Structure 1
Amino acid sequence: MHDHRLQPLLHDLVSTVLAPTTALSGADGQIRPAGVQGLFHADARVLSEARLLVDGREAEPIGHAVPGPGVSRFVSLARWLGDRSPDPTVRIDRVRRITPGAMDEEITLASTAADPVACTVTLALSCDLAPIEVVKSGGAAEPLPPVVAGGTPAWHSGGTRVTVRSDAEVSGAGLRWDVTVAPGERVTLRWGASVEDPEAVVAAPPGPREWSRPEIEADDARLVRLTRQSLDDLESLRLTETAAPGDTFLGAGVPWFLTLFGRDSIWAARMLLPLGTGLAAGTLRALARRQGDKVDPHSGEAPGKIMHELRRHEFAVEGNGLRLPSAYYGTIDATPLWIALLHDAWRWGLPEAEVAALLPTLEAALGWLAEHGDADGDGFLEYIDTSGRGLANQGWKDSGDAVRFRDGARAEPPIALVEVQGYAYEAAMAGAALLEAYGRPGAERWRDHAAGLAERFRARFWVDGGYPALALDRDKRPVDALTSNIGHLLGTGILTRDEELRIAQVLKDPAMSGAFGLRTMSSSDAGFSPLSYHCGSVWTHDTAIVISGLARSGHGDLAADLARGLLSAAETFGYRLPELHAGDDRALMGQAVPYPAACRPQAWSAAAAVAIVHALVGLYPDVPEGRAALRPLPGAPLGALAVRGLRVAGEPVEVTVDGSGKAQVTGLPAGVSLAG
């Protein structure tokens, strides 16, 4: 028997989101006082129960849908009411709408019974105001006593206040309606809850979304459905800082990470660049404001470093010793990724003045690469948590057992991750290009830095088997596990064409690509488990990054196969791809198996749909140079595709790819021409 708390499972819950507010319920719409169910605002649970009963009984659920951002619909039956016949005659539709800081529901009882139907509807409510980290660790808080004021229940603690609105009779902490439904008629009941939370550090952006919503026609209808749902989810994850509401970024994911998350927010904004540069600009500025300016071992801060995550207070997960300060910098990759995002946004047409305003942040970030990111001076970026209370692993695979040798042994820090060296190379070259373009000194220094890094990488990382190691450990030994991390090197520039080919061939092996996407670890490695968080599962964003790299480096066959895997997984998950799913072989069950604690929706998983579309159409603009390349995947492996509403320098662009793979682009902005 377990004597420790377990993180609540998520895979069978329904998320209704419009950041920073989220409702998590069962598939029947009920919010029960168990696990992670509840209404959350920012990083606190503001309702821990909203359970609907009809005559003291729960109705029988028959279906649910998420028709748009912030909306869910649940359908159930009350078969003990109405006519005695095989057909149900009393139906209940529960429509939930989330707006920032509020949840509203309409509960409609419809009857086709021959006689009037009388019943009592009650809604049990409770509130515990549990912090998200307590819920995540499997803990709970005691329900707060309600205060009935103005005829409605309310709860408050500190600066947070939760107030219920309804057209019902108040019964203790709950609501009650006495209902009679005439034959062929319906009755609609209404209630809602509002949150006042002046201490929240994130809020809803005041303006419209910062990216276009393209129209897509595709032979593979799954691509259309996935993109539609993903764009809805991305819209629901928009956030801004309460202290700086002008800059929008994407919250990483529901429910644990609905906040500014350096790596996640950057990758999501990068994947969305084909739809416009506005989100990238907001993300870059939000992180630039919090760029490190001092050395602080407790928070991981260092001069020039980009932050990892932002909370209202210390994030302490009971049972594992993790205690992260409200602004935590324990990430090795957010800084080079920030540089790469600035560079890519510039190429896609981010206005010159906005780029220029971020150049001081760029120079400081480049300085971190050389001065603080390489703690032991060996020429590689590496990490170690010296506080004893932060993340032991500080790449995107940040679980404690994520960095393993092929025999399953864990690597000891400091650790230099393979993909981070690719990011660092790309960042140095990107920084050089930006410095040169804006007439600032240092371009040659960073080109030389990149060249030296590539030489050292080539000498130290490649292992027997013809692929780069996952990492170097504290003794500078190659950690020889075969992992998806090496796919992130594709397109960074650190590899030769022959090396890119070798990596593509290794990733093509069924041990890596035999699941519904790319496995995080080879099924031939001793540490492999299909339900491991980072050692055998399939992460949506990870696969999408590799698809993009394969497309850019000319390996379209594997890119297409991995895209097919994600599209098949999307069918399983109602086209709302989760953070990750199990790495079981495609033939095992014929569909993807959930990872039961995966966040959904999640920003970089939703953005992966745009990355797949972009890889298929292959539009690569360079606005500063006045040119664009068009390199779709050869042979249109997923069929014909037309995308209207991409954005280059703010202008709408259309790309079509016919069934043979021939592509055309129209609408490129003035001064940008298609390269031959």
Structure 2
Amino acid sequence: MHDHRLQPLLHDLVSTVLAPTSALSGADGQIRPAGVQGLFHADARVLSRVTLEIDGREPEPIGHAVPASGLARFVSLARWLGDREADPTVRVERVRRVTPGAMAEEITIASTASVPFTCTVTVTLASDFAPIEVVKSGGGAVPLKPETNGGELLWRAGDAHVTVTSADGERTEAGPRWEVTLAPGERRTLRWNAAVTDPRAVVAAPAGPREWSRPEIEADDARLVRLARQSLDDLESLRLTVTGAPGETFLGAGVPWFLTLFGRDSIWAARMMLPLGTSLAAGTLRVLARLQGAKTDPATGEAPGKIMHELRRHAFVLDSGLRLPPTYYGTIDATPLWIALLHDAWRWGLPEAEVADLLPALEAALGWLADDGDADGDGFLEYLDSGGRGLANQGWKDSGDAVRFRDGARAEPPIALAEVQGYAHEAALAGAALLEAFGRPGAERWRDYAGRLAGRFRERFWVEGGYPALALDRDKRPVDALTSNIGHLLGTGILTPGEELRIARTLADPAMSGGFGLRTMSAADGGFSPLSYHCGSIWTHDTAIVIAGLARGGHGALAAHLAEGLLAAAETFDYRLPELHAGDERSLMGRAVPYPAACRPQAWSAASALAIVHAAVGLYPDVPGGRVLVRPGAPLGALAVRGLRVAGAPVDVTVDRSGTAQVTGLPSGLRVEGP
């Protein structure tokens, strides 16, 4: 028997989302008082039960769909009503609409029976206002007693409350109730809704329309079209702002645990979406600059110039002993990634005035690279949770067992991750380019920094077997596990072309790429498990980052192979790719195996669809330099994408089956260059 609570499973739940509100139910539409099911707003569960019954019985489910952002449909049967024959004659259609701060349901009872009937329809509700971290730990809270006010039910938790109304139903303390009589061929629709008031939430819905274009995509591979369509819906549903900063839109990291601002996740998602416009990147950059570290605080991980990790209304406390403060800075990679996003957005055409406004934050972030980011002065970025209550690992693989040697032994901190050195190299060169272009000092310092970092990396990280180690441990020993992290080095400039080729060949080994995407750890390593969070599973965004690096570096065959793996996985998950899935061989079941606690939808997983499209069309603008490189790098058949954005202008790209690209709509003054 387990003597501790387990994190609830998610893989078979239906998510209906329009941030910062989300509903998680069973495939039958029922929200039961168990696990992570519920209606959530920001970081609290405002309804812990929403169950529909007819005559005291639950309808029998036969299908569901999530056709658009914030919308879900569920179809079920009430076979005890109507005609007594094989074909069902009473159908129940349940339409759920989630909007920011609200959820509404329409329940339609439709009869094709030859006789009339009468039934009682009830919706039973409960609220516990459990914090998301309590739910994540497998816990809950005592259901609250509702207040009644006329036709309303109301539950309070401090100054937050949820109110339920029904225009035509009888109110009971358990929820709305209707008496329904239907003649043959009749139907009746019942309606109720819940509205949330939460003045202390730290995130809110943006007021305006989405910040990016929605391109039209045609492809030989229909899976790519379906994946992009679903992903664009999901990305729109994850738009958020920080309360009090309505003009700074970013993407919440994921449902249900991470529907808030996450430095690394929000940056990567915005970076992948640059081909659709720079406005989302600008909002993400600005909101993170507003929260940029200004002082040294070991309790929160804050340091001058550092970009934060995550934002909550209160401390995030788990049973494991983890205790993260409301604004937490425990991340080693968000700062160089912020610099890279600013640089890339500038290249894609972010207006110069908006770039200039962010240059003080850029200079502070660069300062962190050489100062607090390198606490022991060895020339590498490393992390250490000095307080013992934060994240033990602070790269994107942030679980406690993520950094292992090839024999499976865990590395001891401080840890210097391989990919983070690549990010730092890229950030230094990006920062130098921006400083020089805007007439600010320091460009040569950061170019020199990058050169010295590349030399140190070459000397210390490469191991027997011909690939870079995952990390250096506290004793500066190479942590020699073979992992996907090394794929993030592609395109950062820290590798020579020959070294990039060696990494590409290493990642092509079936031990790494034999699943539905790229494994986080080689199947030949001692720490490998296909259902390990970071040591053998396959992460959508991780694979997409590597696809992008391979495509730009000219390793198209492997890029296409990995992309095909994600497209095959997308079929398994109804084209809503989860945070991660199992790293099993493709031959095991012929379809991807879920990782049962994976978030879905998740921002950087959804944005990965755009990263695959971008790798296939190969459009790389340099608006300040007056040129555009066109180099399709992931051969996925013929592809046409209409409605990309370069410097705000709509751009169309078509790639034929031979890999030849044509580009139309580029702003004047940009010259097209080939490979």
Query: Shorter-normalised TM-score: what interval?
Result: over 0.9
Deviation by residue 1:534-579 (Cα, 9 ceiling, x = unmatched):
0000000000000000001110000000000000000000000000
Specify the alignment match of 1:286 in structure 2.
287
Alpha-carbon distance in structure 1 between the residues aligned to 2:247 and 2:443: 32
1:648 corresponds, among 646, 649, 658, to: 646
Secondary structure of the residue that 1:2 maps to in structure 2? coil
Matches within 5 A, 1:394-409: 394-409=394-409
Deviation by residue 1:516-547 (Cα, 9 ceiling, x = unmatched):
00000000001000000000000000000000
Specify the alignment match of 1:347 in structure 2.
347
Amino acid at match of 2:642: R
Amino acid at match of 1:153: L
1:673 shift after superposition: 1.6
Specify the alignment match of 2:572 in structure 1.
572
Specify the alignment match of 2:551 in structure 1.
551
Secondary structure of the residue that 1:124 maps to in structure 2? strand
1:639 shift after superposition: 1.1
Matches within 5 A, 1:348-363: 348-363=348-363
Alpha-carbon distance in structure 2 between the residues aligned to 1:415 and 1:243: 36
Secondary structure of the residue that 2:374 maps to in structure 1? coil
Alpha-carbon distance in structure 2 between the residues aligned to 1:110 and 1:429: 64
Contact 2:47/2:127, CA 8 A, preserved across alignment? yes
Alpha-carbon distance in structure 1 between the residues aligned to 2:187 and 2:565: 44
**Structure 1 residues not aligned, in runs of 5+:** none
Secondary structure of the residue that 1:647 maps to in structure 2? strand
**Structure 2 residues not aligned, in runs of 5+:** none
1:184 shift after superposition: 1.2
User: Aligned residue pairs: how many?
Assistant: 673
Specify the alignment match of 1:232 in structure 2.
233
1:221 equivalent to 2:219? Answer no
1:488 shift after superposition: 0.1
Amino acid at match of 2:671: S
Alpha-carbon distance in structure 2 between the residues aligned to 1:331 and 1:181: 60
Specify the alignment match of 1:674 in structure 2.
672
Specify the alignment match of 1:486 in structure 2.
486
Deviation by residue 1:357-376 (Cα, 9 ceiling, x = unmatched):
00000000000000110000
Alpha-carbon distance in structure 2 between the residues aligned to 1:85 and 1:491: 65
Deviation by residue 1:76-96 (Cα, 9 ceiling, x = unmatched):
001111111111100000000
Contact 2:401/2:410, CA 8 A, preserved across alignment? yes
1:118 shift after superposition: 1.1
Deviation by residue 1:400-441 (Cα, 9 ceiling, x = unmatched):
000000000000000000000000000000000000000000
Specify the alignment match of 1:182 in structure 2.
183
Specify the alignment match of 1:256 in structure 2.
257
Specify the alignment match of 1:308 in structure 2.
309
Amino acid at match of 2:604: W
Amino acid at match of 1:88: P
Amino acid at match of 1:353: A
Deviation by residue 1:219-272 (Cα, 9 ceiling, x = unmatched):
100000000000000000000011111110000000000000000000000000
Amino acid at match of 1:643: V
Contact 1:111/1:117, CA 8 A, preserved across alignment? no
Contact 1:618/1:632, CA 8 A, preserved across alignment? yes
Secondary structure of the residue that 2:275 maps to in structure 1? helix
1:150 shift after superposition: 2.0
Matches within 5 A, 1:163-202: 163-166=163-166, 167-202=168-203
Segment of structure 1 superposing worse, 206-215 or 171-180: 171-180
Deviation by residue 1:141-170 (Cα, 9 ceiling, x = unmatched):
000000011222110111101100112111
Specify the alignment match of 2:417 in structure 1.
417
Alpha-carbon distance in structure 1 between the residues aligned to 2:181 and 2:363: 69
1:351 shift after superposition: 0.2
TM-align CA RMSD: 0.6
Specify the alignment match of 2:247 in structure 1.
246
Secondary structure of the residue that 2:214 maps to in structure 1? coil
Alpha-carbon distance in structure 2 between the residues aligned to 1:569 and 1:338: 30
Segment of structure 1 superposing worse, 168-177 or 282-291: 168-177
Alpha-carbon distance in structure 2 between the residues aligned to 1:159 and 1:324: 23
Specify the alignment match of 1:533 in structure 2.
533
Alpha-carbon distance in structure 1 between the residues aligned to 2:74 and 2:154: 26
Alpha-carbon distance in structure 2 between the residues aligned to 1:644 and 1:228: 13
Secondary structure of the residue that 1:545 maps to in structure 2? helix
Specify the alignment match of 1:45 in structure 2.
45
1:173 shift after superposition: 2.5
Contact 1:399/1:534, CA 8 A, preserved across alignment? yes
1:661 shift after superposition: 1.1
Contact 2:77/2:92, CA 8 A, preserved across alignment? yes
Alpha-carbon distance in structure 1 between the residues aligned to 2:574 and 2:5: 30
Alpha-carbon distance in structure 1 between the residues aligned to 2:358 and 2:110: 57
1:638 corresponds, among 616, 633, 636, to: 636
1:625 shift after superposition: 0.5
Specify the alignment match of 1:332 in structure 2.
332
Amino acid at match of 1:317: L
Amino acid at match of 2:188: V
Q: How much identity, in percent, do the aligned residues show?
A: 81
Specify the alignment match of 2:594 in structure 1.
594
1:588 shift after superposition: 0.5
Specify the alignment match of 1:523 in structure 2.
523
Alpha-carbon distance in structure 1 between the residues aligned to 2:44 and 2:124: 20
Contact 2:516/2:568, CA 8 A, preserved across alignment? yes
Secondary structure of the residue that 2:225 maps to in structure 1? helix
Alpha-carbon distance in structure 1 between the residues aligned to 2:333 and 2:66: 34
1:185 shift after superposition: 1.5
Contact 2:146/2:153, CA 8 A, preserved across alignment? yes
Contact 2:348/2:623, CA 8 A, preserved across alignment? yes
Deviation by residue 1:336-362 (Cα, 9 ceiling, x = unmatched):
000000000000000000000000000
Specify the alignment match of 1:437 in structure 2.
437
Alpha-carbon distance in structure 2 between the residues aligned to 1:302 and 1:165: 48
Amino acid at match of 2:123: L
1:71 shift after superposition: 0.2
Specify the alignment match of 2:542 in structure 1.
542
Contact 2:552/2:633, CA 8 A, preserved across alignment? no
Name the TM-score, length of structure 2 as normaliser.
0.99
Secondary structure of the residue that 1:175 maps to in structure 2? strand
Alpha-carbon distance in structure 1 between the residues aligned to 2:387 and 2:636: 49
Amino acid at match of 1:365: A
1:125 shift after superposition: 0.3
Amino acid at match of 1:447: R
1:452 equivalent to 2:449? Answer no
Specify the alignment match of 1:272 in structure 2.
273
1:117 shift after superposition: 2.1
Contact 2:151/2:165, CA 8 A, preserved across alignment? no
Amino acid at match of 1:65: A
Amino acid at match of 2:503: I
Name the TM-score, length of structure 1 as normaliser.
0.99
Alpha-carbon distance in structure 2 between the residues aligned to 1:301 and 1:333: 13
Alpha-carbon distance in structure 2 between the residues aligned to 1:196 and 1:31: 21
Segment of structure 1 superposing worse, 174-183 or 428-437: 174-183
Alpha-carbon distance in structure 1 between the residues aligned to 2:147 and 2:621: 59
Alpha-carbon distance in structure 2 between the residues aligned to 1:390 and 1:160: 28
Secondary structure of the residue that 2:373 maps to in structure 1? coil
Secondary structure of the residue that 2:106 maps to in structure 1? strand
Secondary structure of the residue that 1:338 maps to in structure 2? helix
Alpha-carbon distance in structure 2 between the residues aligned to 1:348 and 1:86: 61
Contact 1:222/1:571, CA 8 A, preserved across alignment? yes
Secondary structure of the residue that 1:625 maps to in structure 2? coil
Amino acid at match of 1:340: A
1:59 equivalent to 2:59? Answer yes
Amino acid at match of 1:370: A
Alpha-carbon distance in structure 2 between the residues aligned to 1:117 and 1:411: 68
Contact 2:205/2:241, CA 8 A, preserved across alignment? yes
Contact 2:20/2:259, CA 8 A, preserved across alignment? yes
